[in-house]
Amino acid sequence: MLARLLVITWALVFIPAAAAETPCGYRLFVSGWTSTVHVFDACTGAWLQDLDTRTRLNGAMAVRLGPDRRIHVVSEQTAVIQRYRNDTLGYDGTFATLPTGASPTGLAFDADGRAWVGSYANDTVLRLAADGTALDTPVAANPAVLHGPDNGMVFIGDQLYIPGWASSTVVRFDPVTGTRTVVVAAGTAGLRHARAVLPLPDGSGFFITSEGSNRLLKYTFATGETVALGDTFTQPTGIAWAPDGKLLLVDGDAVVRVDPATGTRLGTFVAAGTAGMSALVYLAVIPVPAVPAGTAEVVEYYHAALDHYFMTALPDQIAALDAGLFAGWQRTGYVFRAWATAAPGTNPVCRFYLPPGRGDSHFYSADPLECQRVREQFPEFVDEGTQFYIALPDRTSGACADGTEPVYRFWNTRPADTNHRYTTSQQVARQMLARGYTAEGYGPGPYYPIMCEVR
């Protein structure tokens, strides 16, 4: 039975593949603790955009691509982890909110998709479920060994390597045994204020940025030896592999290229102060996902006075809404991706207009049976035809096929003022349930997928 009707209209914006990808297919994310996260072309160093403002990213720290193919950013000052789409860089909601005063810094994902978060203030590492809910604190406080876990912690194999800024150590934690081992002790090869750990591609060791001694260090597993490489730098913090196999390294307020074999500076990649970046603390190079030809974005709007969500499938409506021709409507920043034309494994998405007294809104469904029931049971609704194409979840399990991700639908439970919201964000899904909305869809709860977006 049709649960209730959906009040959102969805919008298709065509994104040419050339415009969606940077020339080399990689983007460089630079965290400025007193600015924000700045995004550059990872091959040329050209500034592309800022990921977000300091309102959300205050005290930007680690940037990681999660197993959900979303970009996760630690905001130390607000004690949250924010999430962004990797294709469009659009905001995708808060992944997790950490305890007040935790000062989160580092972020790493294990093989099971759980998130490990360094708490600088508490000398601990927290563990979160794949949906961002808190699980436990596997790395308890022991400041004599690990003091001030910093943003460069990373899994190498199944072991977690944690740089301690205040303890000037690199600690290995075994999640199975709970054993922590000091791998690189304070003062080794001049180690002072360890900031980042970057694995070598062949698995033979890792680099360490030693901010306090202005050096780049290299640790080798086979020998247990730590050596200082090449040049000295100005407060080196973030480090990442460039697409050409060189290193990118924070050098003061700039990003420089470095020879990984010798540690020699090869020149400036991003000049100090570019795009207003300041107090640089972290670097990440993340591949740009390929955008399948024939796909399009679905864009969401919100009207605060009406408390209505709206999405349109028409490019001219998007242009009009963005130009402010319909007062009160603003982009929420949320999008998902669908097919512009019929594609294998997809269904046409029907759209109905709900007249005043029933919502003055629109209803969408990718289920042909649901579309037909609307035509039969609600003849007063205006059938506006197919808007886009998208996959349907398994009606029993709610599972989305490989290469797609769930889209959830929520109803505001106001029969005379019906409004629905579609979202791919589980954080938004939790918010809508907390606001009293009803989840509609397939399979077991709590969210019930209703469509499956293109990934």
Give pLDDT, residue 5: 28
What pLDDT is stored for residue 6 in this prediction?
Answer: 31
Q: Give the whole-number percent of the chain exceeding pLDDT 70.
A: 95
Non-local (6+) Cβ contacts of 266 within 8 A are: 246, 256, 257, 258, 259
Report which of 41, 63, 59 is spatially closest to residue 109, judged by C-alpha positions: 63
Q: What's the pLDDT at 427? A: 80
Mean pLDDT, residues 242-271: 97
Q: Where residue 314 falls among pLDDT bands split at 50, 70, 90? A: confident
**203-212, 280-289, 324-333: the lowest-pLDDT one:** 324-333
Whether the per-residue pLDDT at 1 is higher than 50: the answer is no
Q: Tokens 């580092």 — which residue?
A: 106
Whether pLDDT at 17 is above 60: no
* pLDDT for the residue 292: 83
Categorize the per-residue pLDDT at 290 as very low, low, confident or very high, splitting at 50, 70 and 90.
confident
235-251: per-residue pLDDT in tens? 999 999 999 999 999 99
Say what the pLDDT of residue 425 is: 85
pLDDT at residue 382 is higher than 60: yes
Identify the band that residue 68 occupies on the pLDDT scale cut at 50, 70 and 90: confident
List pLDDT tens digits, range 338-355.
999 999 999 999 999 999
Q: What is the mean pLDDT of residues 383-398?
A: 94
C-alpha angle with apex 206: 286 to 214, nearest 5 degrees? 90
**316-323: average pLDDT:** 87
Alpha-carbon gap, residue 327 to 88, rounded angstroms: 26
> What is the structure's pLDDT at 19?
36
Is residue 422 pLDDT above 50, yes or no?
Answer: yes
pLDDT band at 23 (very low <50, low <70, confident <90, very high): low
Average pLDDT, the chain: 91
Where are the extended beta strands (E) located within 304-445? 308-311, 329-339, 347-354, 361-365, 382-390, 404-411, 420-423, 438-440
Encoded amino acid at 424, one letter: T
Radius of gyration of the chain (CA): 24
Give the pLDDT band of residue 15 (cuts 50, 70, 90).
very low
Mean pLDDT over 136-145 rounds to: 96
Domains annotated for the chain, with CATH where assigned, are 22-287 (2.130.10.10), 291-454 (no CATH)
Name 261's Cβ contacts closer than 8 Å, sequence gap at least 6: none
Helix (H) or strand (E) holding 110: none
Check pLDDT > 70 for residue 212.
yes
Among 138-142, 225-229, 399-403, where is mean pLDDT lowest?
Answer: 399-403
Residue pair 117/151 in contact by the 8 Å Cβ criterion: no
Contact of 82 with 94, CB cutoff 8 Å:
yes
Query: What integer pLDDT is reported at residue 291 of this predicted model?
Result: 80
Tell me what the mean pLDDT of segment 408-425 comes to: 93
264 neighbors 17 (Cβ within 8 angstroms): no
Q: Is the pLDDT of residue 21 over 70?
A: no
Q: Which of 7-16, 25-34, 73-82 has the lowest mean pLDDT?
A: 7-16
**Which of 202, 222, 218 lies closest to 156 in space, CA to CA?**
202
Residue 387 predicted with pLDDT over 90: no
Residues 6+ apart with CB under 8 A from 26: 41, 42, 43, 243, 285, 286, 287, 288
Q: What is the pLDDT of residues 83-137, one digit of tens each?
A: 998 988 988 889 999 999 999 999 999 999 999 999 999 999 999 998 899 999 9
